Amino acid sequence: MIDPALIREDPNRVRKHLVNRRFPADALEMFISLDREWREELQEVESLQHKLKTATPKRKPTDEEKGELSELSDMIQSKKRDLKSLEQSKNEYALSIPNILSHDTPLGDSDKDNVEIRKEGDIPTFDFNVQSHDALAQSLNLVDFEKASLISGSRFAVLKGWGARLERALIHFMLDMHTTSHGYEECMPPVLVNSKALQGTGQLPKFKEDLFHCADTDLWLSPTAEVQLTNLYQNAVIPAGELPIALTAHTACFRREAGSYGKDVKGLIRLHQFNKVELVQLVHPDQSERVLTALLTHAENILKALALPYRVVELCSADMGFSAGKTFDLEVWFPSQNCYREISSCSNFFDFQARRAMIRYKDVGGAVGYLHTINGSGLAVGRTFAALIENYQTKMGTVNVPGALKPYLGVETLT
């Protein structure tokens, strides 16, 4: 969440950010109203407590005095209950307000206003009609959507044979690069997470409808390992000398993807279950801009090593994620669609997630503050799989294996 003091001291600044995000201001106005009422109620409780303290005689009170003191005490307890209810309500509204944008975030009305920073790699040319990744994968018996629908329904996939091995090779390759070349510590967390963890990174309450909930429990299927890796330090105070903390993990991720449609629902682009390698860094506030640039480079290095053409895009204000203050997307080239498609979002959340999850740092002088969190996909494995087989397809309907993956697969071509 954003700093409540900022809302109290400069509400117009927050309103401006909401306008730039094209986000309704209802939650902000309700928070302002409830926060004002809560502070007034708090002052009244403190005043009544002072009155009770000064009204209590040092001698043994008379029966009449006992009655007055008891009545005053009951009033204080009633006010405290009201105060707690107000605090809970205002905090719920605070959790529904998105992050403050970075000062240099480009303004815009939709994803069409995102800013292309640069393009990398050469777009391949073909002297034949290219196949889409889903058609190609099925023709090579790499994936079976029909069998998946029998056991799980639509928008699931069964990877088979070389398809399963390619997915596993990509995961292995990504983790090796991030741990060996980029210095991340590998983790293997649970994929079931509780509400507090999801609230800490901003998935709850905002995105409740996009999550899979386990009935009669407080457990949810994680939509991204960002949740687990960030919340490893929930309620922690970390010595500043131990920062930055860099973590990576491969997990299955689960999302309803209720709002997607059209080409997005075909193939491996938007499944309900998908594999992803995640990157998370916990950093000192002074270092977060630099670390975001570094983390973006780490994700890019996977695409460069696989020789996949891509571009870097900075998201505009209206397309920014709820918790993010600054975001760069990596978009990989899909020949069958003749366009770039997102494969990673790398974001600086500033202290937004740290406030929600209570993750702080302590400097050498003993001062405590909220650290900054940075995260990005490194990469979405299914989309990498899809982009790879499209870009490396041949006229014979086979797929050449990029050099970086040959040691993991042991073959030159998928046939």
- Residue from 255, 288, 336, 355 carrying the catalytic annotation: 255
Q: Is 342 annotated in the active site?
A: yes
Spacing of C-alpha 379 from chain mean position: 14
Contact of 155 with 265, CB cutoff 8 Å: yes
Helices 381-391, 162-176: inter-axial angle, 10-degree rounding: 110
Residue 393 has what DSSP assignment? B
What is the spatial distance between Cα 401 and Cα 337, in angstroms, rounded to a whole number? 21
Active site residue: 270, 336, 355, 390, which one?
Answer: 270
Are residues 379 and 277 in contact, defined by beta-carbon separation less than 8 angstroms?
yes
**Amino acid letter, residue 284:** H
155, 314, 383, 390: which is the annotated catalytic residue? Answer: 383
From the list 171, 189, 226, the residue with the least C-alpha distance to 348 is 226
What CA–CA distance (Å, rounded) separates 162 from 340?
26
Q: Which helix (H) or strand (E) holds 287?
A: none
Active site residue 15: no
The residues, any chain, with a CB within 8 Å of residue 96's CB and separated by 6 or more, are: 27, 205, 206
In DSSP terms, 252 is beta-bridged to 275
Per annotation, catalytic residue among 345, 355, 377, 390 = 345
**Residue 253 · residue 225 · CB < 8 Å:** yes
CA 180 – CA 280 distance, rounded (Å): 16
Helices (H), 268-347: 288-305
Give catalytic status of residue 65 as yes or no. no
Report yes or no: 198 and 322 within 8 Å, Cβ to Cβ: no
What span, in angstroms and rounded, lies between the C-alpha atoms of 160 and 163?
5
Catalytic residue among 39, 149, 342, 360: 342
Q: Which two tokens stand for residue 50?
A: 């002072």
SS3 (DSSP) at 126: coil
Rounded to an integer, what distance in angstroms lies between the CA atom of residue 209 and that of residue 127? 45
Q: CA-to-CA distance for 212 and 204, rounded, in angstroms?
A: 12
- 297/181 Cα distance (integer angstroms): 12
Q: Which residues are catalytic?
A: 255, 270, 342, 345, 383
